[in-house]
Amino acid sequence: MINLPETNKKRVLIIGGGFAGLKLMRELEHSDFQVTLIDKNNYHQFQPLIYQVASAGLEPSAIAFSFRKLLRGKHHMLFRMAELRGIYPEQNMIQTSIGKAHYDYLVLAAGTVTNFYGNRDVEATAIPMKNVSDAMGLRNALLSNFERAMTCATAEERRELLNIVIVGGGATGVEIAGALAEMKRFILPSDYPELRCNEMQIYLIEGQDRLLGGMDKRSSAEAERSLTRMGVKVILGEQVKDYSNHAVTLADGSTIPTQSFIWVCGVKATPTNLPANLIGRGGRIQVDAFNRVQGMDNIFCIGDQCLMSADPAYPGGHPQLAQVAIQQARQLAANLKQLSQGKEQAMKPFRYSNHGVMATIGRNRAVAEVGKFKWHGWAAWVTWLTVHLMFILGVRNKMLVFFNWLWNYLTYDRSIRLILYARKATVVREREEREAKVHLPDVAQA
């Protein structure tokens, strides 16, 4: 077992500490539940700013916040660092990498993983940007490539090292492309004066006919114009077929040499062992209007991992955005309190309230949409900064991010350009190898 204290309180297990899981845990803080959060990391990561870690604009600790710090002094709120291995509804039990746990209510909020669409070559070689570890890996790769470009023997290798290919024209792709374009303009000339700036080429490839497909066409056009002015080569309506021998191959047969191949073109829900008939588009778990997994009485799913078609305004499911996850968590917390008191009829269905979407492109450049209002440029950029600063956890983290942004803005300098490779201690590697070999018990034996 994962060593949870026995209590007369009903037990809620939350799988995943992203926006949905964290919000649910905080909403249940003053409830009569024993709440346990289970996550493979011991920190919450503020995903909208991960690209700034990758582009050396922020340090990882500025966008990460310890779960245990949040739970200090809350004896009925627990945390266990583990990975979900299996769900056994008949026994009200889950299997994790560190043991079993029983529940009264189970909430799946594990979010998404990068979707490589079955392309094994791409999966094996591309650099994703889904979490802080990915961002650190990308930062190290980019800086190492710049260092190598200073000393490589051939022009062909230098071209591979300085070409950067980003696949995916959503918000993350647009934001990382803009950040790297600013690095090319402001950092490369000062840090690497022996390199010519025009040798660094940034490509942004999108399979659809426009960027930011979830936003208005005018916002898409503005993003494309801004990136093009910043020197990014935007390629629309083209798909990547393969990556091998340090070259990206497109559907039309053309190739782009690069050793910096960034993949941000899609996600899929974190997989579980739930029956296939419960899994919908994008691997998402199908839920009813109360975020209850279809056919299950006490298993719920919220955030990017779930697919709700019961909301009349979103019959194909809600967009996979932080605000959806937060609103679902808030509603589910209220419903769980009603359910635990035997007031199932008092539960309210979830209805999403769209507060708008936005994306930053670079210094003084962003696009924003709230209802019928759409704007871009400096005003949208300030709005983006303000909203994201508000949602970062902890006063220290807010201050770190604010002063980093202020320093970057005033000095045109991204100061966190260190190549750091973490090495896991042998005892940790051995423990992880043992946990990875955990065999799931049969349901009958569970």
Please say whether the beta carbons of 369 and 387 come within 8 A: no
Model confidence over 306-328: pLDDT tens digits? 999 988 899 999 999 999 999 99
Residues 161 and 283 in one domain: no
Domain that holds residue 233: 120-265+357-411
Residue 195 lies inside a defined structural domain of this protein: yes
Residues 203 and 87 in one domain: no
Is the CA virtual torsion 236, 359, 40, 401 positive or negative? positive
* Angle between helices 155-162 and 132-149 in degrees, nearest 10: 150
Strands, E, within 17-144: which ranges?
33-39, 43-45, 64-66, 77-81, 84-88, 93-96, 99-102, 105-108, 112-114, 127-128
What length is written for the chain? 446
Please tell me the total count of domains within the chain: 2
pTM: 0.91
Residue 384 identity: W
Residue 392 lies inside a defined structural domain of this protein: yes
Q: Which residues contact 373 (CB under 8 A, 6 or more apart)?
A: none
Residues 255 and 131 in one domain: yes
Q: Please state, in angstroms and rounded to a whole number, the distance separating the CA atoms of residues 312 and 315.
A: 6
Cα Rg of the chain, angstroms = 23
Q: Which residues contact 254 (CB under 8 A, 6 or more apart)?
A: none
Residues 251 and 370 in one domain: yes
Residues 98 and 126 in one domain: no
Task: Report the CATH number that the domain containing residue 164 is assigned in CATH.
Answer: 3.50.50.100
Residues 203 and 257 in one domain: yes
Residue 206 lies inside a defined structural domain of this protein: yes
The residue out of 338, 354, 370 marking a domain boundary is 354
Task: State the residue for tokens 């019959």.
Answer: 315
Model confidence over 44-84: pLDDT tens digits? 999 999 999 999 888 888 999 999 998 988 889 999 999 99
Long-range contacts at 276-284 (CB < 8 A, ≥ 24 apart): 280/307, 280/309, 280/317, 281/307, 281/316, 281/317, 282/115, 282/307, 284/317
How would you write the pLDDT of the chain (446 residues) with one tens digit per residue? 688 988 999 999 999 999 999 999 999 998 999 999 999 999 999 999 999 999 988 888 899 999 999 898 888 999 999 999 999 999 999 999 999 999 999 999 999 999 999 999 899 999 999 999 999 999 999 999 999 999 998 999 999 999 999 999 999 999 999 999 999 998 888 888 888 888 999 999 999 999 999 899 999 999 999 999 999 999 999 999 999 999 999 999 999 999 999 999 989 999 999 999 999 999 999 999 999 999 999 999 999 999 999 888 999 999 999 999 999 999 999 999 999 888 989 999 999 999 899 999 999 999 999 988 999 999 999 999 999 999 898 888 899 899 888 888 888 776 667 787 777 788 877 887 887 776 555 443 43
Residue 250 lies inside a defined structural domain of this protein: yes
Residues 95 and 18 in one domain: yes
Residues 404 and 329 in one domain: no
Q: Please state, in angstroms and rounded to a whole number, the distance separating the CA atoms of residues 49 and 399.
A: 14
Residue 393 lies inside a defined structural domain of this protein: yes
Residues 221 and 329 in one domain: no
Residue 445 lies inside a defined structural domain of this protein: no
CB atoms within 10 A of CB 235: 18
Residues 168 and 258 in one domain: yes
Residues 187 and 252 in one domain: yes
Backbone angles phi, psi at 393, to 5 degrees: -75, 145
Q: Please state, in angstroms and rounded to a whole number, the distance separating the CA atoms of residues 388 and 58.
A: 14
Is the CA virtual torsion 390, 29, 292, 65 positive or negative? positive
Residues 224 and 278 in one domain: no
Task: Report the CATH number that the domain containing residue 328 is assigned in CATH.
Answer: 3.50.50.60
Residue 100 lies inside a defined structural domain of this protein: yes
Residue 20 lies inside a defined structural domain of this protein: yes
Please say whether the beta carbons of 314 and 352 come within 8 A: yes
